[in-house]
Amino acid sequence: MNRHFRHGLVSLAVAAALSAGAAQAQISDNMIKIGVLSDMSSLYTDLAGAGSVVAARMAVEDSGIEKRGYKVEIVSADHQNKPDVGSGIARQWYDTDKVDVIVDTPNSGVALAVNQITKDKGKAFLVSGAASSDLTGKACTPNTIHWTYDTWMLANGTGSAIVKTGGDSWFFLTADYAFGHALERDTEAVVLKNGGKVVGKVRAPLNTQDFSSFLLQAQASKAKIIGLANAGGDTTNSIKQAAEFGIVKGGQNLAGLLVFLTDIHALGLPTAQGLIVTNTFYWDQNDQSRAFAKRFAERDKGIHPTMVHAGVYSALIHYLKAVEALKSDDGTKVIAKMKEMPTDDPLFGKGTVRADGRKIHPAYLVEVKKPSESKGPWDYYKVRATIPADQAFRPLKDGECPLVK
């Protein structure tokens, strides 16, 4: 081998090693550590759970960051839908295990607790699974971005569409914790604003198995619309049991205010057909979303990604870009950088992150297909309307976020 050529190769190797070292210079513990905090065993496990870990790994791979000299580790844990358990995990991750960013966290009670801990520790929190619009409202912090969807968006998508098509009297069946309360509050405001009325409401404990007493009250109310302010297994159980009670045959309609692709899969199209749902991502939107879904399904037992899974992926793509731009994983600085940089990824396209931490992108009002319209498993939605990005989420001035001057 030519001596000059060999010397050139050595120089290149040294330069590569130096640049990798420089890349790690401001990274705490020479490692970007991502914690996926989710429901791994209960009513939200299908819509988030192990699939959120799959989405996080895909984001790291697709970002190419490891090829550029950065080390990334992903850890995961089950918060069991208990704020005290979620808080304990977050504290251990931040204090002992050197986790830099927590992602996902379906369950608004857990998310609001982790939101505060993240601020106190100066770390980063990227919420995909939780829904409460308070995360970018009164509870907003400089350390949290609410990525995928929220209760205001759901209320102003599904709720508004139903009121405007004649569903003007409502009875709410609500999951009795932070998420359900926020979804009921935001939807009730939309119903009243559009001239409708709320004739009653009942609150059911999280992870209720038997909804009969609650559904009997809803039936007796004679409301045109029974608004389900719940999610995951609570939604599928209440819809199945409502069918057994003949509620829809009796002339009342169900409004699933938060329904995921995996819920439709669990219900089956004969039961779910005709439901109006608001989403920010659907796997069959375009070539890029279909390619992502194919890769995701191969890794997650054939399950197709929900908007929560897509949000975990998209949020981490943007987070890793910001870490590279800063050459730092300081949580407060990275979140500020994420707000400063425009977002762009294959699943949500181009977007922005607002001062209050709200990620902005379009939402889609979709209807669940009839069995005869579906081409096969997971082909469940037809898009009724696109809600533009600047209308899909609560106006910045209305959120009462202390960061917004």
Identity of the amino acid at 119? K
- Tell me the two tokens of residue 352: 């922005």
**For residue 198, what is the enclosing H or E element?**
strand 197-204
pTM: 0.93
- Taking the C-alpha atoms of residue 52 and residue 48, their distance in angstroms, rounded to an integer, is 5
pLDDT band at 18 (very low <50, low <70, confident <90, very high): very low
Residue 313 CA to residue 62 CA, distance in Å, equals 9
Query: 254-265 pLDDT, tens per residue?
Result: 999 999 999 999
Which amino acid makes up residue 246? Answer: G
With residues binned 3-state (H G I as helix, E B as strand, rest as coil), the percentages for the chain, rounded to 5, are 45, 20, 35
pLDDT, tens only, 69-117:
999 999 999 999 999 999 999 999 999 999 999 999 999 999 999 999 9
Rounded Cα distance between 235 and 223, Å, is 19
For 197-242, the pLDDT digits (tens) are: 999 999 999 999 999 999 999 999 999 999 999 999 999 999 999 9
DSSP 393: S
Q: Domains in the chain and their CATH numbers?
A: 28-149+285-361 (3.40.50.2300), 152-279+363-392 (3.40.50.2300)
Which residues lie below 8 Å from residue 193, measured CB to CB, with a gap of 6+? none
Order across the sheet with 101-104: list the strands: 72-78, 32-38, 101-104, 124-127, 144-146
